[in-house]
Chains A and B, each alone.
Chain A
């Protein structure tokens, strides 16, 4: 069985670098502001389609934004 993998991400850094509020990023990605906050704080790992949408929004790959911390 695969072991659980904790995920880190750079969404907050990239969002603030663009000067965007959480609500603005949420509007762009068609999700709630709460979901953006949960992703940024690592409480929620987005689905693959949403992770790809986030990566595309920031002009990066998923691997450049989301990092798996193997136990």
Chain B
């Protein structure tokens, strides 16, 4: 629980995901012939993951966002994610309009928007059945 120092498995998902993304960056840059950039990206993600894990030991809010055991903080996380999604949708729409106005076909924004739309409809269908 957030008021203790005990951690559950969920607590480590975000730091672990940060490390995994860092490794993906390393592989991507290495395949692209720039392993040095990959090592820098991995280092940045390692520092980020360690900072998040340490912050969770000091901050009740960070801890709650990581382990999702506190329902209010879990709700805040969901709403913050929704706000982030709206901002990303607006950015994708703006990018699409700019690309179309330049005489291009709107890629890659059209594809990103399509993925987002399919993901939203799939999620609505899934949660409609589950709740």
Contact = CB atoms under 8 A, between A and B. Distances in A.
B72 A27 contact: no
Interface in A17-47: 23, 26-27, 30-35, 38, 44, 46-47
A6 interface: no
Nearest to A26: B3
A34 B72 contact: yes
- Interface size range of chain B in the complex: 10 to 19
A50 interface: yes
B73 interface: yes
Interface of A: 23, 26-27, 30-35, 38, 44, 46-47, 50
Interface of B: 1-4, 60-61, 63-64, 69-73
12 contacts: A23-B3, A30-B69, A31-B2, A31-B3, A32-B1, A32-B60, A33-B2, A34-B64, A35-B70, A35-B72, A44-B72, A50-B71
